[in-house]
Chains A and B, each alone.
Chain A
Amino acid sequence: MKSHDLNGNLPEDLLDRSISALRNAPVPDGPGPQATADTLAALRRVAGEDRIPLNPIGSIGLTQRTLAMIFAHKKLAASLTFIVGGLAVWSMLSFFSSVSYAQVAEKIRSAHAMSCTASVTLAGMKEPVKMKMYFQEPGKLRTESDQSVTINDQVAGTMLSLVHGSKQAILVKYKSYGLPSDFITELRGMATDSKSEPIEDKQIGAVKAKGFKITKEAQKASIWVDPKSGLPLRIEMIAPNNVLVTMDDLRFDPALDATLFSLVPPEGYKTMPQVTLPEMTLPANQHTIEEHVVVILRAYAGMTDGNFPTLLSDPSIIVKIAKGDSNGVPDTETLLVATALGTVFGQLFAYEKGTEYDYIPGLKLGDAGKILFWRHDKVSGKYFAVFGDLKIKEVTAREIPPAVPNPVLPTGSMPPSEVVPAVPLPAQRQPVMKFSPIAPTQPAVAPPAKVIEAPLPLPTPVPTAPVTK
């Protein structure tokens, strides 16, 4: 090639001239001292925090690597705090709002505080993300992980995020809308129409715990209870996209020190500029799932050349869109997408994938005629869909595309009765729709879809639930 055969004369070809210019352009000697020091610190942190046994066959999953990247990268650490905390909070809220067997209900109903250890395992992940959570009435939540601590006070409309690696304290202020999703309130308002059936007992610590399988609509969970105290010792449930959420070490009304919920940064942490989220036009639970989905997909497509994610509720999506300032504080768009991710993840708990909602990967931004996400609204009975151009429309059941199989969790990490097998799609897939069977006499052409709205610009954040942080 010409650009490799430079003989002192500038090549005539514009491309070769450009290559020559770029290759011969003066370049600084190397990174500055600060960049070198930051990189060395990151290397030590990542290498030192490596608790994963070295595996010669390369079994460390993409998500694991992604999370490691997040933890190592100061600009993304805070964002992860929002996501991980959000997933767990929504999981618990969704679950407890439906648990209702009498033996446990009364104990929970009288609780004013609670703590537990939660772990979240995503498909492709060998090790779960673990965190410790503390709830205190009214509306206080503390989430601890190896990398960070997040304290959220819904009444004050304030959240404090402490990032251990970089020793940063980030204070987020938002408009409080009271306690529409207060955890303790959710506990007391447990529904009473769920079904329970006994499952195999399990040895948990020194206790032979009695097992129950709880089902309410699309929500399913397995609970193991201490037969003496009647309190749950472990809860396992399957979230959308086959995400396994496990809660252990559940304690009701533990003595929680008030300092656990202090919003004052501890000594040794550098207080970063305060982040103030813009005021919402609607409380969190008044935004539709579709609007949150659009927020996620729009941001993702904007950063990936018009592509959409393979999974909708994958926390590593945040890696693609996370942006922040030089101090490591995530920008507003990052917060909004993190909020939307947590919200979508939590709200889809109440829906069954494939029959009540689905996400269809593989489309590109602009595929206006193709459905990217759809949901059957349980209240109105209507079907809503997000199309490839990110327009939200009401659709008919006949327009719903075939179901997409679930991703698969690591072997052995899911209750056997709940494993959704990953099967190759048959050549001619049929939609799995238990609703609205199509009468043969119906016309083949669906009526024109009604455009509900195109939520641009990005909706305001969702400060009413801890998931938003």
Chain B
Amino acid sequence: MIDWERILSHDGPAVWRTAWRVLGNRADADEVFQETFVAAVEYSRTHTVIHWRALLQRLATARAIDRLRQRVRRRNREMPLPEDHPETSFPLPLQAAENAELSATLRLAMAEIPSRQAEVFCLFHLDGWSYPEIAEHLAISTDVVGVWLHRARGRLRELLAEMNEVSS
């Protein structure tokens, strides 16, 4: 019998932060958080899970990217979506403001690259996973991890340059 309450309390905060970092928005992170755990229940019915946090972070990353892509598409149709910044209750220092802008732009760009590449990119750069860890969890070779990461970085670099050019 899986002790979901313990897993939720032990690993939940880290999983939620994974989603938040990709989305930058509490409401979306909450949704992804819940979807992630429900998906983990389904996954556990057919698989033996040893490292719950890793599984949950991977699921959360994939769902957060999906949500990010939906949000960006919807934003293009409707209006910009608000992003949470813990320090928005007072004016941002110049460096913090610049970092917030860089983060927001990178999120937009991540929504434009293929989902699997974005997933590998986030797991490596934001969650600090190694190539072998990513390869194991995504059931791909380390070579493929390297290729996808390389492609993701290349495309993101182009997108950021374009966005930077437009904004300037």
Contact surface of A with B, Cβ cutoff 8 Å: 1, 3-4, 13-15, 17-19, 21-32, 34-36, 38-40, 42-44, 46-47, 50, 52, 54-60, 65, 68-69, 72-73, 302-303, 305
Contact = CB atoms under 8 A, between A and B. Distances in A.
A32 B126 contact: no
B46 A56 contact: yes
Given A21-B103, A31-B16, A42-B37, 20 more contacts: A15-B157, A15-B160, A18-B109, A21-B99, A22-B21, A26-B87, A27-B21, A28-B20, A29-B13, A31-B13, A31-B30, A38-B30, A40-B4, A54-B46, A56-B46, A69-B35, A69-B38, A73-B35, A73-B38, A305-B69
Nearest to B47: A58
B73 A32 contact: no
Interface in B1-32: 2, 4-5, 8, 12-14, 16-17, 20-21, 24, 26, 29-30
Contacts of B85: 26
Interface secondary structure of B, over-half rule: helix
Nearest to A40: B8
Contact of A26 (B12, B86, B98, B106): B86
Contacts of B75: none
A145 to B, nearest CB: 19
16 contacts: A3-B125, A15-B160, A18-B109, A19-B125, A21-B102, A23-B21, A26-B87, A31-B16, A32-B30, A36-B12, A38-B30, A39-B34, A40-B8, A42-B34, A59-B46, A68-B42
Contacts of A57: 46
A43 B9 CA distance: 13
A35 B30 contact: yes
A22 B37 contact: no
Contact of B102 (A17, A26, A39, A69): A17
Nearest to A24: B99
B153 A15 contact: yes
A31 B29 contact: yes
Contact of B41 (A3, A4, A47): A47
B125 A73 contact: no
Interface of B: 2, 4-5, 8, 12-14, 16-17, 20-21, 24, 26, 29-30, 33-35, 37-39, 41-42, 45-47, 69-70, 73, 77, 84-87, 98-100, 102-103, 105-107, 109, 125-126, 128, 153, 156-157, 160-161, 164
A14 B161 contact: yes
Contacts of A54: 45-46
Contacts of A303: 70, 73
Contacts of A42: 34, 37-38
Query: Which are the 7 A-B pairs with shortest beta-carbon distances?
Result: A30-B13, A58-B46, A21-B99, A21-B102, A18-B106, A35-B30, A22-B103
A31 B12 contact: yes
Given A43-B8, A60-B46, A72-B38, A21 B106 contact: yes
Given A22-B126, A42-B38, A69-B39, A36 B17 contact: no
A43 B41 contact: yes
Nearest to B128: A4
